[in-house]
Structure 1
Amino acid sequence: MTPSPSGQEPAVNSTPLLSAAGLHVTFPGRRGGPSARAVDGVDLDIGTGEIVALVGESGCGKTTLARSLLGLVRPTSGRVTFGGEPLSYTSRALKSYRKRVQLVLQDPSGSLNPRHTVYDAVSEGLRIHGYAGDEREAVAEALSRAGLRPPERFFLRYPHELSGGQRQRVVIAGALVLGPELIVADEPVASLDASVRGEILALLLRLRDELGLSALVVTHDLGLAWNIADRVAVMYLGRIVESGTVEEVLTSPRHPYTQALLSVLPEASGPPVVLTGEPPDPTRIPSGCRFHARCQVLASGEAESAGVADKCRTGVLEVLGRGAGVACHWA
């Protein structure tokens, strides 16, 4: 692997822009069944001008965590703060918050109304929030920042007249038009061709550098994290199991789960680690390390040799706090 292409350290303030502390999101079970702990004690900080990648398999809770940070899902317990102020869940407060924190969805085709022109799609947020300035100028500036130039050429186009990359740029322009401080991008390039993925990632980096824009990028792809992130948080079954700078986590992974995710990348030097089974049901979280039933280190006997096998199966692991760290008895 080669260093991250951003080429410079992000301008990160000591006080986080967005912070989650002890966040839990529990969904009640059906017909009185056990509750599902989708997010189960998460601490996470995002600094100004910082890109954080939240990585994990499908079903690990990363999208629920992202939605709770956006205020779309109210946490069962814990706290989200933005700019040092606790997030309020009144309608007025959430409306104001969503001007400052915007969502970029995975599938641009599903995000855009096929009956709306590009101009309508980008200007929608301005109209919802009662923008008092020059709407046409604001839409043009957002499209230009998203790489659609000249912007007026795209005003009257419909989504079906655009390429996949252009549609994703329209979605990004719709987020930018309100001047947010942070965007949450859920699998932002998963539906795009490989030739276009690099362009969109480069765009997000450029927006970070030019606007000081922060981002939480939700992905299952550690390769994407390497190319765009300043820090990485690896999530498994509702908890962060490893976090640190992109270099710390992706060049010297300590958690067996992180090692397994990295082993399937094309750049990996060794054989891929095939994880057995699916992540456990969040209504039946296992004792001990949550990963132990699928752990290659436990299966190979390495944990036994290190004298931690019993701890892996039954020992309680503390919730991983802020900053760099790993939640693993063996590591």
Structure 2
Amino acid sequence: MTTTTGPLLGAEDIHVTFPGRRGRPPARAVDGVDLTVGRGEIVALVGESGCGKTTLARTLLGLVTPTSGRVAFAGRPLEYTARALKAYRRRAQLVLQDPTGSLNPRHTVYDAVAEGLRVHGTPGDERAAVARALSLAGLRPPDRFFLRYPYELSGGQRQRVVIAGALVLQPELLVADEPVASLDASVRGEILALLLRLRDELGLSALVVTHDLGLAWNIADRVAVMYLGRVVEAGPVETVLTEPRHPYTRALLSVLPESPLPATVLSGEPPDPTRVPPGCRFHARCPSLASGAAESSGVASLCRGTPPVRIGDAGVSCHLTQVAPRVAPGA
């Protein structure tokens, strides 16, 4: 469910560099990313651990200040004063991966959900607002859960409480960082269905951070694949996941159950963000170079020495696809 009124959230050429420690060079955690989330849209941000996706998500929420670049919400640049950020965080809420760690074990469900209202000094009927949020999160009847503690709930119920704590402020955007990673498979489906229902019923937008392309297929309207600080492929989920063009995307998809792609096991680990390699930052692990496809297409030297042109909010960043767009990378 998308609209044509422009993106709700926009990031333009975002860089986040962390200073090095003990003489080490700085870490380029996010290195020139463009990303948008439309109104009523779910975008999945996908990549291996350490690729920078959580840092990018926290930057989009104003929890990390970008080294350079611009974040805008509802068409207005994000301001980094305490007052502006507090107002922004009423409209954009974070849902963390571990519901057990997100909830204070000494707080009842009621207090956990009401906390945001109290922090922001929200006027009105607190009890009614908490009940509404719990109902929206699928905890019904809500008053049955008011006086319960986290240890009395299942993992799925705890995650619903965390989501209710975000919903109580009636935000326009949820940023969910691995929201189902710690849950059983059956419960994962319920939480994903909940996010879809919130999108459909409330027009709520969401950025879902995950390492799982299968999850992206089930929930997202668009997907952005991130590797070592950059988005290497982005577009509508049907396009990216049925016709992947970047060799990294193809490798991630190949290991999913029932994938039609030949299984590809990437060698080594992603490079250290303090030592970003020259050229395409994926080239040391790229199946296209290993198979000779890049060499035969005449781009191997570019892969090793020249960074691909930075893409915008859609497309692919790969020398091979740019010179031979109809050749499947790694073929």
Question: Do Structure 1 and Structure 2 share a fold, with TM-score over 0.5?
Answer: yes
Q: Does 1:112 find its partner at 2:103?
A: yes
Give the secondary structure class of the aligned counterpart of 2:166.
Answer: helix
Distance 2:206 2:125 in 1: 27
Which of 214, 227, 236 lines up with 1:223 in the alignment?
Answer: 214
- Farther-moved stretch of structure 1 (101-110 vs 270-279): 270-279
Q: CA RMSD in A?
A: 0.8
Check conservation: 2:250, 2:261, Cα contact below 8 A. no
Distance 1:82 1:157 in 2: 36
Which of 46, 49, 54 lines up with 2:45 in the alignment?
Answer: 54
Give the secondary structure class of the aligned counterpart of 2:231.
Answer: strand
Distance 2:262 2:36 in 1: 34
Which of 297, 311, 315 lines up with 1:325 in the alignment?
Answer: 315
1:122: which partner in 2?
113
Q: Deviations over 1:120-168 (max 9, x none)?
A: 1000000000011000000000000000000000000000000000000
Distance 1:11 1:302 in 2: 38
Runs of 4+ in 1 over 3 A off after TM superposition: none
Check conservation: 2:51, 2:229, Cα contact below 8 A. yes
Check conservation: 2:308, 2:317, Cα contact below 8 A. yes
Distance 1:320 1:195 in 2: 37
**1:269, CA displacement in angstroms?**
2.4
Check conservation: 2:174, 2:205, Cα contact below 8 A. yes
TM-score normalized by structure 1?
A: 0.96
TM-score normalized by structure 2?
A: 0.96
Task: Map 1:94-109 onto structure 2 (within 5 A).
Answer: 94-109=85-100
Which of 141, 146, 152 lines up with 1:150 in the alignment?
Answer: 141
Q: Does 1:83 find its partner at 2:44?
A: no
1:134: which partner in 2?
125
Distance 2:269 2:235 in 1: 26
**1:15, CA displacement in angstroms?**
1.2
Q: Does 1:93 find its partner at 2:84?
A: yes
Name the aligned partner's letter for residue 307 of structure 2.
V
**For this pair of structures, how many residues does the alignment match?**
321
**1:33, CA displacement in angstroms?**
2.3
Q: Does 1:162 find its partner at 2:164?
A: no
- Farther-moved stretch of structure 1 (153-162 vs 306-315): 306-315
Distance 2:279 2:240 in 1: 23
1:174: which partner in 2?
165
1:29: which partner in 2?
20
Name the aligned partner's letter for residue 325 of structure 1.
G
Unmatched 5+ stretches in structure 2: 322-331
Unmatched 5+ stretches in structure 1: 1-9
Distance 1:267 1:122 in 2: 40
Q: Does 1:183 find its partner at 2:174?
A: yes
Name the aligned partner's letter for residue 45 of structure 2.
L
Q: Does 1:315 find its partner at 2:309?
A: no
Q: Deviations over 1:82-128 (max 9, x none)?
A: 01111001000000000000000000000000110000100000000
Distance 2:274 2:96 in 1: 27
Name the aligned partner's letter for residue 263 of structure 2.
P
**1:11, CA displacement in angstroms?**
2.7
1:240: which partner in 2?
231
Name the aligned partner's letter for residue 100 of structure 1.
R
**1:316, CA displacement in angstroms?**
2.6
Distance 1:317 1:273 in 2: 22
Check conservation: 2:253, 2:261, Cα contact below 8 A. no
Identical aligned residues as a percent: 79
Q: Deviations over 1:16-67 (max 9, x none)?
A: 1000011000000012321100000011111100000000000000000000
Give the secondary structure class of the aligned counterpart of 2:180.
Answer: coil
